[in-house]
Structure 1
Amino acid sequence: MGFHSFESPYDWSRIDPYRRRAEQCPGGLVDLSVGSPVDPVPRSVREALAAAADVGQARGYPKTAGDGPLRQAVADWFCRCRGVDLDALGADLVPTVGSKEAVALMASLLHLGPGDRVVQPRVSYPTYAIGTQLAGAQVTTVDDPADTDSWVDLPGVRAIWINSPGNPSGRVIDRAGLAKIVQAARSIGATVLSDECYALLDWSGSAQASPCILESQVCGGDASGILCLYSMSKQSNMAGYRAALVAGDAQLVKAMTAYRKQVGLIVPGPVQGAMRAALEDGEAVTAQRNVYARRLHALTEALGAYGYDAVMPQGGLYIWAQARSGDCWADMAELSRLGILASPGEFYGAGRYLRFSSTITDEQLDLALGRLRSAA
């Protein structure tokens, strides 16, 4: 049957006019639009990639399910950083070629299609909806998936997307909210899809990581009906490596792994070595976390001085603020005259908001802060 058609406002060419105007500003463009890391890849990761460039899985075909050392590193990371024992849950895992393909193909790999419904947050990463549409299933948006009454009785619900910390809002769902989602999904035989790519960038409290959907107190010690996604892109500046993973319900993961093997969705061997190093290098992750915290605090202050209702997010890399004019595109035009490019909230389902990314160099940050404060 092939892929179905999809619709999405997520088209970066739409911001090109604002980009061109911002580039004309003295000092050039400050790009706060895309969450693409700019800081160095940790040395441990680069060294691991080089060491794996001419051994084992580099010369031959790599293992779709991940080689033994990577699988052990993932299990150890879940235990150390997320408080999750994958073995005790009966969970399995598979590396993915970045998190975006995992998101976009998820509904198809779950065999969803016409007549099936996938619930997602109304304000969210656009690829959740695109992936559902590609499978031919129906997208249903709700203000808050933790408000399970808003979706549990709808006909045909087969999966629920959640994202904590969220993109773009930065919202963190607490353990009680996660447990409520799991309980409701299980009551109707639906799968919980938890995108936790920003998990180690939690600013909401003393913990450095947000709650995990696979924690025993959330899932009841059982991974059934749950899939958790994680990525190296944000924690280790490895977006270009296309290095991510899915862990959870062993039956679902095994079935997905079989399909991935047949269509060649396999993380290259050297990248598997780099992923292992990234998961093991907690010191580098903490250092990068501190960089993002500093940038976010500075941006929040400067955007507030300029007139935005900017607050430090609960988690993630972005400041999500209501447009001063009430329309994201009008604000995009105003900011472009300052040489600043933001991301329009319409891309994420909220045309009255803008998203500002902290994935900029310190030099670019200083330019942005100066321009916002001088125009305040």
Structure 2
Amino acid sequence: MSALSSALPDFPWDLLEPAKKLAAAHPGGIVDLSIGTPVDSVPQSVRQALADASDAPGYPLTAGTPQLRAAIAGWLARECRASGDLGVLPTIGSKELVAWLPTLLGVRPGDVVVIPSVCYPTYEVGVRLTGAEVIRSDSLTAIGPDPRVKLIWINSPSNPTGRVLPVEHLRKVVDWARERGVTVVSDECYLSLGWETTPVSVLDDRVTGGDYTGVLAVHSLSKRSNLAGYRAGFLGGDPALVNELLTVRKHAGMIVPAPVQAAMVAALTDETHVEQQRERYAARREILRSALVKAGFEISHSEAGLYLWATRGEDCWTTVDRLAQRGILAAPGAFYGPAAAQHVRIAMTATDERVAAAADRLSEPF
């Protein structure tokens, strides 16, 4: 039996351990801005819903409860401006879905999956698990007339760059894919966190006109509702594709626990806590952005999401080490693709105290 792991790259965060040890040795302690892990409390209404549903001795529904399916559909209609007949499905967080989606959709060796040139590493991992070929490209013309292309990932707002794709670009991708029978999957986990522009969903009527054929959108409650520990995600789009995914996931036992499903309903039907969390991140973003610019960094894109995409015009690992010497841990751009070799990703997911500490340390001459 061959080891499947041999087809996968090194786990990125393991490579960051030396810098993490250096940063942890700082007299003031580490300021970990490398991973977008929420640090603020789970909303009380969500915690109460989880507790109220905790007596759940039976098996939950893979498709989600009727209440959850209605909450997802309602949220997609309101927040994504989707007016058509959507298929919806809860998932065990979004990373699980990203990693297994190509497999669940039948991508096989000999097929091609297109991912952004700079992107979340799990897109590539998911393709490698199928044995298919990965093409990194942000240009449809660069892909060419390749009949092997079966799936194309887009990500807006982008992780790590914070770039937001306009309506015209999204429509062009969907039209291109439909002409070729290619499935479009849009990772929109940061949709609620626009700063300098308003992100647009691929499900928006301005993109699809209410026709979701061949289109799926992936969402998460980890960032907008601080539910990373709950593993609560969902997708919406083409009912035929969603039904296919549901059928396979039922066989595979990919089921969101019943108490988490109840918590998701509470989170999806309340936007007040999302606005409160946005305000926290907006304040932290301004402090970090100002400090980075004063320290000689250039901020690229970063118009949405939970990260600042920063560069000093040097190798990303050199920048990581410079920051680690100041007790600040950042993610090297190399994690996200060869085109990102001179950038670092700075997360805004730290407490106010740790963000202030990072700003103070960035004032030291580089």
Q: What TM-score do the two structures reach when normalised by structure 2? A: 0.96
Distance 1:291 1:224 in 2: 38
- After TM superposition, which residue ranges in structure 1, 4 or more long, deviate above 6 angstroms? none
Distance 2:175 2:98 in 1: 22
The answer to whether the 8 A contact 1:120-1:141 is kept is yes
Q: Secondary structure at the match of 2:223?
A: helix
Distance 1:63 1:375 in 2: 56
Distance 1:169 1:311 in 2: 7
Q: What residue identity is the alignment partner of 1:35? A: G
> 2:178 is matched with which residue?
186
- The reply to whether residue 14 of structure 1 matches residue 9 of structure 2 is no
The answer to whether the 8 A contact 1:82-1:212 is kept is yes
Q: Secondary structure at the match of 2:299?
A: coil
Distance 1:173 1:43 in 2: 34
Q: Secondary structure at the match of 1:94?
A: strand
> Cα offset for 1:336?
1.1
Distance 1:6 1:314 in 2: 34
> 1:367 is matched with which residue?
357
The answer to whether the 8 A contact 1:30-1:364 is kept is yes
Instruction: For residues 130-164 of structure 1, give each alpha carbon's deviation from its aligned partner in whole angstroms, at most 9, with x where no partner exists.
Output: 0011011110001x2xx321225223111100000
Distance 1:320 1:26 in 2: 27
Distance 2:283 2:183 in 1: 37
> Cα offset for 1:25?
1.0
Going from structure 1 to structure 2, the CA distance change for 1:10 and 1:323 (only over 3 Å counts) comes to farther
Q: Secondary structure at the match of 2:364?
A: helix
> 2:29 is matched with which residue?
28
Q: Secondary structure at the match of 2:69?
A: helix
Equivalent residue for 2:165, pick from 173, 181, 187: 173
Going from structure 1 to structure 2, the CA distance change for 1:302 and 1:182 (only over 3 Å counts) comes to same
- The reply to whether residue 134 of structure 1 matches residue 134 of structure 2 is no
Distance 1:327 1:129 in 2: 23
Distance 1:202 1:360 in 2: 18
Distance 1:9 1:299 in 2: 30
> 1:161 is matched with which residue?
153
Q: Secondary structure at the match of 2:15?
A: helix
Instruction: For residues 260-297 of structure 1, give each alpha carbon's deviation from its aligned partner in whole angstroms, at most 9, with x where no partner exists.
Output: 11111000000000001111110000110111111111
Distance 1:265 1:356 in 2: 32
Q: Secondary structure at the match of 1:72?
A: helix
Going from structure 1 to structure 2, the CA distance change for 1:136 and 1:311 (only over 3 Å counts) comes to closer
Superposition pairs for residues 39-118 of structure 1, below 5 Å?
39-54=40-55, 58-85=56-83, 88=84, 90-118=85-113
Identical residues among aligned pairs (%): 46
- The reply to whether residue 217 of structure 1 matches residue 213 of structure 2 is no
Distance 2:344 2:11 in 1: 14
> Cα offset for 1:9?
4.8
Q: Secondary structure at the match of 1:114?
A: coil
> Cα offset for 1:204?
2.6
> Cα offset for 1:6?
2.7
Distance 1:192 1:185 in 2: 7
* RMSD of equivalent CA atoms: 1.6
The answer to whether the 8 A contact 1:4-1:133 is kept is no
Larger mean Cα displacement after TM superposition, 158-167 or 249-258: 249-258
Consecutive unaligned residues of structure 2, counting only runs of 5 or more, are none
Instruction: For residues 296-351 of structure 1, give each alpha carbon's deviation from its aligned partner in whole angstroms, at most 9, with x where no partner exists.
Output: 11111101111110257111000111244x11111111111111111011100122
Distance 1:312 1:11 in 2: 23
> Cα offset for 1:236?
0.5
The answer to whether the 8 A contact 1:168-1:355 is kept is yes
The answer to whether the 8 A contact 2:219-2:233 is kept is yes
Larger mean Cα displacement after TM superposition, 171-180 or 305-314: 305-314
Instruction: For residues 91-128 of structure 1, give each alpha carbon's deviation from its aligned partner in whole angstroms, at most 9, with x where no partner exists.
Output: 21110001001000011011111111000111000000
The answer to whether the 8 A contact 1:115-1:138 is kept is yes
The answer to whether the 8 A contact 1:120-1:162 is kept is yes
Superposition pairs for residues 156-305 of structure 1, below 5 Å?
156-205=148-197, 207=198, 210-305=199-294
Going from structure 1 to structure 2, the CA distance change for 1:248 and 1:357 (only over 3 Å counts) comes to same
Equivalent residue for 1:356, pick from 346, 349, 356: 346
Q: What residue identity is the alignment partner of 2:211? A: D
Q: What residue identity is the alignment partner of 1:351? A: A
Distance 2:319 2:206 in 1: 43
The answer to whether the 8 A contact 2:82-2:210 is kept is no
> 2:331 is matched with which residue?
343
